[in-house]
Amino acid sequence: MPSYYQRVAEILKLERPRGQPSGSDRSTIGPGVIKRVLRWTIGVLIFVAILTYACDYGVLRYRMARGTGLGSVTVDTYYAIHQKNGKTEFQTLDPQPQTCVNSLFPHQGITPCWYLSRHPEKRIDI
């Protein structure tokens, strides 16, 4: 004996197209949707990163024109000399001021001041 839904489908002459999921399967998220959302999310993140870097560069250029784009942080430099017996000898130099940029990211090959102030020691391995 056919079920209620089979009789309704026969009455209305409804047929499910081949290759189509049944009604309960239509609500699931397929791999195509996940790929699309992932690509869109990655694209948005890349766009935001590029926009942030460009805005940071523009603000730095404005500060450079006003004369406040560069700063200076005192850095302690020391040499780490590796010896043949496996020990390391350290030789310190006098603290020296190092130029830095007042920005979020490094620009023009110069380290940002916020990073340099948090890492005031420079180690040179020999």
> Tell me: the pLDDT tens digits for 12-71?
775 555 555 555 555 567 778 889 999 999 999 999 999 999 999 999 999 999 999 999
Average pLDDT of every residue of the chain: 86
Q: Look-up: residue for tokens 């409804």?
A: 14
pTM score above 0.75: no
d(CA 63, CA 101): 10
Q: Between 85 and 45, where is the model more confident?
A: 45
Q: Please, are residues 106 and 112 in contact by the beta-carbon 8 Å criterion?
A: yes
DSSP 8-state assignment for residue 8 = H
